Amino acid sequence: MTETTETGKFARPPITPGAEAETIAYAREVPTTPAGPTGLTWLGGFKSDMTGTKATALADWAKAARRAFLRFDYFGHGASSGRFTEGTIGRWRDDALAMIDEKTAGPQILIGSSMGGWVALLAALARPERVRGLVLIAPAPDFTQALMWEGFSDEVKATLKRDGIYRQPSEYDDEPYEISMKLIEEGREHMLLDKPIPLTCPVRILQGMKDEDVPWQHAMKLVETLASEDITISLSKSGDHRLSTPADIARLRGEIEALIADLEK
């Protein structure tokens, strides 16, 4: 029995007519004898890539479990083309939709981490016929407004308005995060928490209560806003934003396995 790992770059039309072609780097597990019809798609966080701890661990698990599993880098992230500062929530959602449409088959569970939780929700709204369930890790819908802009000082807001860029120090990277005014403004077109979210699929959420980037109360607001009645949230009192310890990853695998079992019974 041979399981296949496929890597490549998917060509997409450029945002700007006449510009160079754009590519989305991806990797996927393609089992020759799948354990079931449900596939998994990983949606990473802000400025993260598909080689991160959780994404890699899930790829290894999917291979062993004979599950189709897709991970990729958004525009301006990792090995994909484009400048990070030119990316927006809508652009990254479109990347996700392109990859779901072109590189997956059958029903999908979307696994979204942090910003990837927002992207997963937007993708599920756009592809309700394909998305059977969501597993969200410290989901950050509306973060550009609720967790960035509204928390910025007047000085930072003035910098963004004047220069178009604010370089925010990050504990996850040696280089600062470059936050663009374009990201903030375009993000307002995709807000979800200001009205009911008409998703009825099962949703599983893992959240750390010591998360300093996405407070656990933000996840609770998402639970209240979703229309689905099939939602569970697992709070880790000692958990941080990354939730990438071996115990965290074991809990994540457990949530995915249980959801697959529910969907395929």
Q: Which residues are known catalytic residues? A: 114, 211, 241
Residues 13, 14, 17, 19, Cα dihedral to 10°? -130
Element at 41 (helix H, strand E): strand 39-43
> CA-CA distances (angstroms) from residue 262 to 32, 34, 38, 48, 257?
23, 17, 11, 30, 9
Q: Are 87 and 183 in contact (CB under 8 A)?
A: yes
Give the side-chain half-sphere CA count within 13 A for 63.
14
Contact 59, 71 (CB under 8 A): yes
